[in-house]
Structure 1
Amino acid sequence: MPTVTLKDVAQHAGVSHQTVSNVLNGHPHIRPATKERVLASIAALDYFPNQAAKALREARITTVCCVFYGHNPEDISDPYRNLVQSAFIAEAQAHGYSITTAFVNDDTGLTTLRQRFLQREFGGAVIVSTILTPDQAQIFQAWKMPVVLFDHALPSTMNVTADYPEGMATLVRHHATQGRRQLALIIPEEDLGSTSIRRREGFLQTCAQIDIEGIVVNGTWSYDSGYRVMQTLWTSDRRPDAVLGGNDRIGAGALRAAHDLGLSVPGDVAVSGFDDFEFAQFTTPSLTTIHIPHGDMARQAVRGLISLIDGTVPESRVFMLSLIVRESA
């Protein structure tokens, strides 16, 4: 298939090649209708300017993008998003970079993101997503855009993640040493992201290895889900003696439900979370959980991205997790 050139784009859009160049370089005096027509031609012809990599080296773009793929931009209460985003910003600034943020949930969002990269608004991206598939990751690679995956492991793409199976195994073993024999994990079963899958696998495998009962109960990543599922569990025939939240929000919801049910925690039932967000130490009782070094992971991701932009290919990194024992378990 012949290479699409800048002149091909100009002919397709009915403009001069200089106009196309001005659009790509973000010239401020291009009429909106002309710019829209040129960008449509770039997308239709799948044009990628060969000079982009050279421009990155010679002009040195000092902005990187934090892309939340599949996240709800209106969920500003999400402690995970707020924590990692602030760490991205701080680390980028420490290296002389600024951060721009994008939320991508569909093909239109991908098109807009690519246009921004082609126009050199940023030099690379940290992709924050638990649902990104290998095929979707290859889209970014085809753009020749430096990319680091955060909290999601995929082959052939530099990524920063954590040892979730071992973290969950540590939590299960902790409950077992406290004499708990019927464990229930509340987590989204339909979530096919590597983070969720590896937490579920770590839970089930460890329960089987130490010969205790472990069931997975479907929920969402929310406080409300932990509350509702905990109430359902306690009215069922198979009451667990320990409830594990797939994250701290679920665990906090389960704690509140236990309180409303008149249960003693950890007397009647132990409750734990997973993440160690700041609020976990202020619940009543305080929440036993697994500490994930989100800040360190975010900083590592930004450093890895800057290395990619500078032409060095860093190795992927898996962070170890630790048990934080508090009052609830």
Structure 2
Amino acid sequence: MTSSKTPSPDADGVEIDAGLEAGLEGGRKRATINDIARLAGVSKKTVSRVINQSPFVRDETRERIEAVIAEWGYAPDPQARGLAFRRSFLIGMIYDNPNPQYVVNMQLGLLDGIRGSGFELVVHPCDRASPTFLQDIRTFVERQKLFGVVLPPSVSEDERVAKLLREIGCEYIRIASVELDKPEHMIVGHDRLGSEAMGAYLVELGHREIGFISGLPSFRSSHERRGGFEDALNKAGLQLKPDYVVQGAYTFESGLACGEQLLAKTPRPTAIFAGNDEMAAGVLQAARRAGLQVPADVTVVGFDDFQIAQAVWPPLTTIHIPTREVGRIAAEKLIGAEAREKRDPNNTIPYLVVRESSGAPPVG
């Protein structure tokens, strides 16, 4: 590649080094901020101002520097920028979640939120049951010199983590189904409203014998989703029968085991509401093994509306949680980009999505 511009020196009198271009063209090294400054004929400080979108650069100088940056594929190093600005341009995601699709969708949302900001994302899987849980988080935050972290469930629901982050001066955003902190630290998912909508839908279809598979008790969402479902039944003058409630673990395998348990009951429930789509997919498998048709013999519904909801047969009726959108909002809130984008930080309300796995209860 040959540079298309031969700019004159800027006010600092920096000259272009022709040998530098040759060295870069030969692939011997990656361009640094010093290289960009010399190729553009400006000072390192001027390049830094352009990278950080400072208004104190002339338009023609900005255009020249941006052209060189684009030509040589230069990208600033987050750690180096952190040293220069006495803060890191890294944000972290700390999670302990058994559902891989949730983790992937959340990461995609966080990446959406930081795109074009100069920030980068690092992730830290953890185990809340580990005796070194809190120390591991402290080490991660301090070693990476993080600007801040996003905490999805169930880590977000652990008050010890929020306290630790406040003590070490790390910014944070918690994502949870209920308000757990000051508004500036929260994105609320409203899981209870979603489950209430599903309960009302099943009652409207005519179901009265409904099984429910809850998630892990260590997740606040498990309690909120059951609570919303019970609210809907109570409004219809019904109750969730204890014999029709089993505890899963937000995994396909637990959904399969719980589905087999519920489908073996007499009378058999006409509908089963699983606390997430992974478990609902397991119930579909259990129904097939039992020789039952969905939804002719039993309705199966889930929660989350992840990719698996449309990958199984029949596709799942479920509650859509905008996980990727929540991740984007959380990232923008963390780095202070909300005002710039003018986006709604409360756009997290779940809603019902009806597909082929639900129908009226069987006759007779």
Taking structure 1 as the reference length, what is the TM-score of the superposition? 0.73
Alpha-carbon distance between aligned partners in 1 of 2:144 and 2:293, rounded to the nearest angstrom: 57
Q: Is the 8 A contact 1:125 1:146 kept in 2?
A: yes
* 2:238 matched residue in structure 1: 212
* 1:111 matched residue in structure 2: 135
Unaligned runs of 5+ in 1: 1-54
1:127: how far off?
1.2
148, 158, 163: which one aligns with 1:138: 163
Tell me which moved more, 58-67 or 159-168: 58-67
Tell me which moved more, 144-153 or 131-140: 131-140
311, 314, 321: which one aligns with 1:282: 311
1:136: how far off?
3.5
Q: CA separation of 1:232/1:63 partners in 2, compared to 1, >3 Å: closer, same or farther?
A: same
109, 118, 128: which one aligns with 1:87: 109
Unaligned runs of 5+ in 2: 1-81, 359-364
Q: CA separation of 1:315/1:89 partners in 2, compared to 1, >3 Å: closer, same or farther?
A: closer
- After TM superposition, list the pairs within 5 Å mapping 1:49-198 onto structure 2: 58-68=85-95, 70-71=96-97, 78-105=100-127, 106=130, 108-119=132-143, 121-130=145-154, 132-152=157-177, 153-156=179-182, 158-188=185-215, 191-198=217-224
Q: Is the 8 A contact 1:159 1:316 kept in 2?
A: no
Q: Is the 8 A contact 2:134 2:161 kept in 1?
A: no
Q: CA separation of 1:107/1:128 partners in 2, compared to 1, >3 Å: closer, same or farther?
A: farther
Alpha-carbon distance between aligned partners in 1 of 2:199 and 2:255, rounded to the nearest angstrom: 18
Tell me which moved more, 216-225 or 271-280: 216-225
The percent identity for this pair of structures is: 26
Alpha-carbon distance between aligned partners in 1 of 2:268 and 2:150, rounded to the nearest angstrom: 42
1:283-320 Cα offsets, whole Å, 9 max, x none, are 11111001110111000000111129x9xxx9974721
Alpha-carbon distance between aligned partners in 1 of 2:125 and 2:88, rounded to the nearest angstrom: 21
Alpha-carbon distance between aligned partners in 1 of 2:232 and 2:97, rounded to the nearest angstrom: 30
Whether 2:333 is the aligned partner of 1:307: answer: no
Tell me which moved more, 211-220 or 276-285: 211-220
Q: CA separation of 1:234/1:198 partners in 2, compared to 1, >3 Å: closer, same or farther?
A: same
Q: Which amino acid aligns with 1:89?
A: L
273, 295, 301: which one aligns with 1:266: 295
Aligned-partner SS, 2:281: helix
Taking structure 2 as the reference length, what is the TM-score of the superposition? 0.67
* 2:18 matched residue in structure 1: none
